[in-house]
Chain A
Amino acid sequence: MQETMINRAKQLLADGTVTRVIGWKRGEFAYDITPAVFESAEELESDFVFDDFTSANVSKYLVKESAKEGKVLVFLKPCDTYSLNQLTKEHRVNRDNIYVIGIPGGPKLDIEKIKAKGISGILSVRNEDYTLKIETIYGEETMPFSEAILDKCASCKSKKHVTYDELIGEDGDVLDSNRFDMVEKLENMTAQERYDFWREQLSKCIRCNACRNVCPACTCEKCVFDNPNSGVENKAASDSFEENMFHIIRAFHVAGRCTDCGECSRVCPQNIPLHLLNRKFIKDINELYGAYQAGEDTTSKAPLTNYTFDDCEASIVHERGVE
């Protein structure tokens, strides 16, 4: 797969279709993959990686890259194409300046789950028939592939590419996913239980801003949390409840625009299940205004910024504070 992608990218660079390629390259460790921009065949040959750890959604990089001169090639998994569509819809990227190659999606691996098995000193991870052969400095270890899948892949919503210029491999379908199970569980809690759950989770937040920085819906020219005039900048430090407000403000900010790519939870160093906040919004929107998935297309009207005569009044449908 990696070979095919590199060869196709080299071709497109060579014939002048694109001038840059967005993909992934290795970091310090084998499993330590980061998004990268490649400008030559040599760079692609030496650094380009595509394996079980290339889970990062690279669509957000297109905000900057598509504004530059020359077309940019991007490899997008199905989930990433939703993000690109949403960015296109919001005029945040120049779609005409992007060449999308759709590539197969995950499931991708979560290195934390491998480490949690007590495996350390990892040098490389190979998938042989859904058994992971893990080479470490202490020798080889094995574990089932299924036990190391990223949470966001375990509740995958779609294997379908919603936008692409060409595909490598077959296109899949929208899946009947179990992604709202945990949201339902939270909904069934009492208000106090739910409050305790979120207090416990959110109090772990160290305000590193990783969730915001990775989020493809967070592309404002000037983020409120960086704007001294906004009145909410740096409030995180002022009292213990403020980190909750940070996440609640962010969840409202991306409500109706979140494509549920799951990156916020994947990058959180404190393992806060931030995607649950977004999924609650998606679920509510589905229930109140009919099924809607942000990023599914670039033309439909988003329910939260649209009015129809049969819109329900959410506050009337759900009586507040009633358990």
Chain B
Amino acid sequence: MQRIGVFVCHCGTNIAATVDVKAVAEALGHEPGVVVSQDYQYMCSESGQNLVKNAIKEHNLTGVVICSCSPRMHENTFRKAAAAAGLNPYLVEIANIREQCSWIHKDIATATEKAVILGRAAVAKVHLNAPLIAGESPVAKRALVIGGGIAGIQTALDIAEAGFDVDIVEKNPTIGGKMAQIDKTFPTLDCAACILTPKMVEASQNEKIHIHSFSEVTDVKGFVGNFTVTIKKKARFVDETKCTGCGLCTEKCPMKKVPNEFNMGLDNRTAIYIPFAQAVPKVATIDPNYCMMLKNGKCGVCSKVCSVGAIDYKQEDRFIEEKYGAIVVATGFNPIKLDKYDEFAYNQSPDVVTSLELERLMNAAGPNGGTLLRPSDKTHPHKIVFVQCVGSRCDDSKGKPYCSKICCMYTAKHAMLIREKYPDTEVYVFYIDVRTPGKNFDEFYRRAVEQYNVHYIKGMVGKVTPQSNGKLHVQASDLLANEQLHIDADMVVLAAAIEPDKTARPLATMLTTQMDTNDFFTEAHPKLRPVESATAGIFLSGACQGPKDIPETVAQASAAAAKAIGLLCKNSITCNPCVAHSDELMCNGCSSCEKVCPYGAITYIDKEFRMPDRTTKVRRVASVNPAVCQGCGACTVACPSGAMDLNGFSNSQIMAEVDAICK
């Protein structure tokens, strides 16, 4: 006979304000098998836990139901409390009467009724709970960082500093990411390259850090402490171990008309290229879309001039497999495409540029050697209009609903740098709001307005029209003066919204991590676990989690590293005992479960069975490796014969819950 204890938490007023907790405790006290039913103000507090512990001992309980917050919050707390009182921790069930009840209802009667029903379902389930014993699995002492921008570099450096091996996988030929393209950084105006490139070099020289540039993650198997990752090393047609980065091949390559992505397509590079002078690794890469040797076998100049024989036209994609204990995602961001913003004439005039393009135009290593010239006729612009929030804070389908966060500050930076270097240039900034929360940020913005006389105008630009004289006619409204403005500008700079890198979504699927509707990775808790994903062993670094500037990115990168180090320090982690198992007598051997298992935990064996008529029969049946199974339950629903079941979430337990709810 089951002896079940029910404990209803007030959670202060979080639950008690909407749910009549005393009535819930009273009602659940009458459920079959329930021998004690109590309520308490904070069940998670020490005295609340003692209440549970004492009841377990006093009433000799065989099962516990806690009606409280989400199990994500305190399931572990109560399992530990039960274990301390001598009850198997897996005989504890949580009825979520906070997030799924009190927080979403206003009416006390309805909420109370629902809380009783949720509690009743948990009681029905706990009747069928079986004690489970958790095993242990070892932790691979190596971390993977996906993305080699400033976030990935910082995370890798910190993990390596703690003494663990760490691999960086970067899809581009060099690490450095977006920060390498930026000219100066706010609010101190120090040069981005000057502070980034030493870190890149540090990463490449650290013997614990292994950089896989021009590589992609193609497959992730396993679980926390035990990930097996396949990395595709894309063919760069240059032997990385031989190439010295002398750059002779890039000078001699006859194919010189390839849009240079590092300079945002504002100038050209050669088919064999090194993205920029400080690239890490400083190794050439052949672009197969443009290389004449790879396209039609006619050329071979780079191979002839290379003194170390590093060119290998027959190189193919290579796949390597490595085991990791922790994975840090640092896939970063991109500015959005502006194809849908015809009103700003981005596709019509080369003098309408994005802010990142402006960075390159102003950079000493950029297409103009650092002199700001109009892309169309290479003349000095005398009137520049900046448009803020292009695609940010948009409620239409064109843009993004969120604030891209960095645009206000970099626009102030651009405006200030232009006024500093070219005092004869007039600068207008059209804004909805200027947002400058951050250390020394507002001071910086005020300097742009007060010291550098940048014209900040509250209002939006309605239309930009290229004119025959080369000027850009800007129509805008000044909301404070309540008047229409017409400005003949030489250049227009659009602060394009930023969005997560396109590689993030397929990666999230591989990692079984969650994303929000904007494809930013979701943190495990927005306040208390900001650098962990909800999937154990996967951590988040930088703008892949949300728009961030450089200081924030670096801070989060180090935080993610700290979390990864905490995991890598452990020799083993406790496994989840809620794993699948197959009822061999019912298994058809059809392989449905094997096909859907994301962890590769299911194999098939031929097993001999004794039949009722005393004959034997060899049958193909599923076998689950409990160390690999993560208890996702995909197999239990895919199984056509109902042979697969999940410990702690068995089909019969779930049906009992449904029956209790529908009663």
User: Residue B595 contacts which of A221, A253, A305 (CB distance < 8 angstroms)?
Assistant: A305
Min distance, Cβ B161 to any Cβ of chain A, angstroms: 37
Q: How far is the CA of A219 from the CA of B652 in the complex (A)?
A: 23
Q: How far is the CA of A67 from the CA of B642 in the complex (A)?
A: 23
- Give the contacts of A279-308 with B (CB-CB under 8 A): 301, 305-307
A309 touches B506 (CB 8 A): yes
B641 touches A220 (CB 8 A): yes
Task: Given A220-B640, A253-B640, answer yes or no on A309-B590 (Cβ-Cβ < 8 Å).
Answer: no
A224 touches B595 (CB 8 A): no
A220 touches B506 (CB 8 A): no
Task: Given A222-B641, A224-B642, A257-B640, answer yes or no on A301-B586 (Cβ-Cβ < 8 Å).
Answer: no
Min distance, Cβ A102 to any Cβ of chain B, angstroms: 25
Task: Given A91-B589, A221-B586, answer yes or no on A67-B617 (Cβ-Cβ < 8 Å).
Answer: yes
Chain A residue, CB-CB nearest to B640: A253
Q: How far is the CA of A305 from the CA of B642 in the complex (A)?
A: 15
Q: Give chain B's interface residue range (CB within 8 Å of chain A).
A: 20 to 34
Interface string of B638-663 (1 = CB under 8 A from A): 10111100000000100100000000
Min distance, Cβ B506 to any Cβ of chain A, angstroms: 6
Task: Given A90-B591, A222-B641, A257-B640, answer yes or no on A305-B596 (Cβ-Cβ < 8 Å).
Answer: yes
Q: How far is the CA of A253 from the CA of B588 in the complex (A)?
A: 13
Min distance, Cβ B658 to any Cβ of chain A, angstroms: 11
A230 proximal to B (CB < 8 A): yes
B595 touches A301 (CB 8 A): yes
Q: How far is the CA of A231 from the CA of B592 in the complex (A)?
A: 23
B77 proximal to A (CB < 8 A): no
- Report the interface size for chain A: residues with CB under 8 A from the other chain: 20
User: Residue A91 contacts which of B590, B638, B641 (CB distance < 8 angstroms)?
Assistant: B590
Q: How far is the CA of A229 from the CA of B638 in the complex (A)?
A: 19
A221 touches B642 (CB 8 A): no
B374 proximal to A (CB < 8 A): no
Q: For B586, what are the chain A residues with a Cβ–Cβ distance below 8 Å?
A: 220-222, 227
- Give the contacts of A206-224 with B (CB-CB under 8 A): 219-222, 224
B506 touches A91 (CB 8 A): no
Q: For B591, what are the chain A residues with a Cβ–Cβ distance below 8 Å?
A: 90-91
Q: For B505, what are the chain A residues with a Cβ–Cβ distance below 8 Å?
A: 309
Q: For A309, what are the chain B residues with a Cβ–Cβ distance below 8 Å?
A: 505-506, 509
A92 proximal to B (CB < 8 A): yes
Chain A residue, CB-CB nearest to B656: A231
B655 touches A90 (CB 8 A): no
B524 proximal to A (CB < 8 A): no
User: Residue A90 contacts which of B509, B585, B590 (CB distance < 8 angstroms)?
Assistant: B590
- Give the contacts of B587-620 with A (CB-CB under 8 A): 587-592, 595-596, 604, 617, 619-620
Q: How far is the CA of A66 from the CA of B640 in the complex (A)?
A: 22
Q: How far is the CA of A227 from the CA of B643 in the complex (A)?
A: 12
Task: Given A91-B591, A305-B592, A309-B509, answer yes or no on A222-B585 (Cβ-Cβ < 8 Å).
Answer: yes
Q: For B585, what are the chain A residues with a Cβ–Cβ distance below 8 Å?
A: 221-222
User: Residue B590 contacts which of A92, A229, A230, A306 (CB distance < 8 angstroms)?
Assistant: A92
Chain B residue, CB-CB nearest to A218: B640
Q: How far is the CA of A301 from the CA of B595 in the complex (A)?
A: 9
User: Residue A306 contacts which of B595, B643, B652 (CB distance < 8 angstroms)?
Assistant: B595
Q: How far is the CA of A222 from the CA of B596 in the complex (A)?
A: 22
B641 touches A231 (CB 8 A): no
B595 touches A230 (CB 8 A): no
Q: For B642, what are the chain A residues with a Cβ–Cβ distance below 8 Å?
A: 224, 227, 230
- Chain B interface, >50% SS class: mixed
Q: For B619, what are the chain A residues with a Cβ–Cβ distance below 8 Å?
A: 221
Q: How far is the CA of A221 from the CA of B586 in the complex (A)?
A: 5
Min distance, Cβ B156 to any Cβ of chain A, angstroms: 28
- Give the contacts of A196-243 with B (CB-CB under 8 A): 219-222, 224, 227, 229-231
Q: For B506, what are the chain A residues with a Cβ–Cβ distance below 8 Å?
A: 309
A220 touches B652 (CB 8 A): no
Most A C-beta atoms less than 10 A away, residue of B505, B509, B588: B588
B592 touches A219 (CB 8 A): no
Q: For A305, what are the chain B residues with a Cβ–Cβ distance below 8 Å?
A: 592, 595-596, 638
Q: For B617, what are the chain A residues with a Cβ–Cβ distance below 8 Å?
A: 67
Q: How far is the CA of A290 from the CA of B547 in the complex (A)?
A: 37
Q: How far is the CA of A221 from the CA of B585 in the complex (A)?
A: 7
Min distance, Cβ B441 to any Cβ of chain A, angstroms: 39
User: Residue B588 contacts which of A220, A224, A301, A306 (CB distance < 8 angstroms)?
Assistant: A220
Interface string of B570-589 (1 = CB under 8 A from A): 00000000000000011111
Q: How far is the CA of A67 from the CA of B616 in the complex (A)?
A: 12
Q: How far is the CA of A301 from the CA of B596 in the complex (A)?
A: 10
Q: For A67, what are the chain B residues with a Cβ–Cβ distance below 8 Å?
A: 617
Q: For B638, what are the chain A residues with a Cβ–Cβ distance below 8 Å?
A: 305
Q: How far is the CA of A230 from the CA of B583 in the complex (A)?
A: 12
- Give the contacts of A255-298 with B (CB-CB under 8 A): 257
User: Residue A221 contacts which of B587, B596, B652 (CB distance < 8 angstroms)?
Assistant: B587
A231 touches B587 (CB 8 A): no
Q: For A307, what are the chain B residues with a Cβ–Cβ distance below 8 Å?
A: 596
Q: For A253, what are the chain B residues with a Cβ–Cβ distance below 8 Å?
A: 640
Chain B residue, CB-CB nearest to A87: B590
Chain B residue, CB-CB nearest to A304: B638
Chain A residue, CB-CB nearest to B617: A67
Chain A residue, CB-CB nearest to B637: A305
Interface string of B127-158 (1 = CB under 8 A from A): 00000000000000000000000000000000
Q: How far is the CA of A214 from the CA of B17 in the complex (A)?
A: 59
Q: For B590, what are the chain A residues with a Cβ–Cβ distance below 8 Å?
A: 90-92
A221 touches B655 (CB 8 A): no
Min distance, Cβ A76 to any Cβ of chain B, angstroms: 21
A231 touches B595 (CB 8 A): no
Min distance, Cβ A148 to any Cβ of chain B, angstroms: 36
Most B C-beta atoms less than 10 A away, residue of A67, A91, A92, A224: A91
Task: Given A90-B588, A305-B595, answer yes or no on A221-B641 (Cβ-Cβ < 8 Å).
Answer: yes
- Give the contacts of A57-71 with B (CB-CB under 8 A): 67
Q: How far is the CA of A224 from the CA of B655 in the complex (A)?
A: 14
Interface string of B502-527 (1 = CB under 8 A from A): 00011001000000000000000000
Q: How far is the CA of A289 from the CA of B590 in the complex (A)?
A: 22
Min distance, Cβ B618 to any Cβ of chain A, angstroms: 9
Interface string of A117-156 (1 = CB under 8 A from B): 0000000000000000000000000000000000000000
Min distance, Cβ A304 to any Cβ of chain B, angstroms: 8
B652 touches A231 (CB 8 A): yes
Task: Given A67-B617, A305-B595, A309-B509, answer yes or no on A92-B588 (Cβ-Cβ < 8 Å).
Answer: yes
Task: Given A220-B586, A221-B586, answer yes or no on A231-B640 (Cβ-Cβ < 8 Å).
Answer: no
Q: How far is the CA of A9 from the CA of B588 in the complex (A)?
A: 31
Q: For B620, what are the chain A residues with a Cβ–Cβ distance below 8 Å?
A: 91
Q: How far is the CA of A67 from the CA of B652 in the complex (A)?
A: 33
Q: How far is the CA of A229 from the CA of B586 in the complex (A)?
A: 11
Q: For A90, what are the chain B residues with a Cβ–Cβ distance below 8 Å?
A: 588-592
Q: How far is the CA of A224 from the CA of B652 in the complex (A)?
A: 13
A221 touches B588 (CB 8 A): yes
Q: For B641, what are the chain A residues with a Cβ–Cβ distance below 8 Å?
A: 220-222, 224
Q: For A224, what are the chain B residues with a Cβ–Cβ distance below 8 Å?
A: 641-642
Q: How far is the CA of A221 from the CA of B596 in the complex (A)?
A: 21
Q: How far is the CA of A67 from the CA of B590 in the complex (A)?
A: 15
Q: How far is the CA of A221 from the CA of B619 in the complex (A)?
A: 10
| 3 shortest interchain CB distances as A-B pairs | A90-B590, A220-B641, A222-B586
Interface residues in chain B, defined as those with a beta carbon under 8 Å from any beta carbon in chain A? 505-506, 509, 585-592, 595-596, 604, 617, 619-620, 638, 640-643, 652, 655
> 5 more A-B contacts (CB under 8 A) besides A91-B620, A221-B641, A222-B585?
A90-B590, A90-B592, A91-B604, A222-B586, A305-B595
Question: Could you list some 25 contacts between A and B, CB below 8 A?
Answer: A90-B590, A90-B591, A90-B592, A91-B588, A91-B604, A219-B588, A220-B586, A220-B588, A221-B585, A221-B586, A221-B588, A221-B641, A222-B585, A222-B641, A224-B641, A224-B642, A230-B642, A231-B652, A253-B640, A301-B595, A305-B595, A305-B596, A306-B595, A306-B596, A309-B505
Interface residues in chain A, defined as those with a beta carbon under 8 Å from any beta carbon in chain B? 67, 90-92, 219-222, 224, 227, 229-231, 253, 257, 301, 305-307, 309
